[in-house]
Amino acid sequence: MAEYRCLNCGKIIPASELNLKAKCPYCSHKILVKVRPKVVKKVIAR
């Protein structure tokens, strides 16, 4: 499941807590960034 991080308070918010609102439930900040996994992908060049 997707997780988002608030740019203001830094809390991690699961997508299930957002309920169609792009607003932090802790500080009401409107800018959230999707947390990316820390997996490095290898691509073979042709």
The model's pLDDT over 9-29, given as tens digits with 9 standing for 90+, comes to 999 999 888 877 788 989 989
- The pLDDT score that the predictor gives to residue 8 is 94
In this structure, the dihedral spanned by the alpha carbons of residues 21, 27, 30 and 33, taken in order and rounded to 10 degrees, is -90
Q: Please state, as a whole number, how many other Cβ atoms lie within 10 Å of the Cβ of residue 29.
A: 14
Q: Which domain holds residue 45?
A: 1-46
Q: Rounded to two decimals, what is the model's pTM? A: 0.70
Residue 6 annotated as part of some ligand binding site: no
* Domains contained in the chain, number: 1
The pair of three-digit structure tokens given for residue 2, joined into one six-digit string: 């997707």
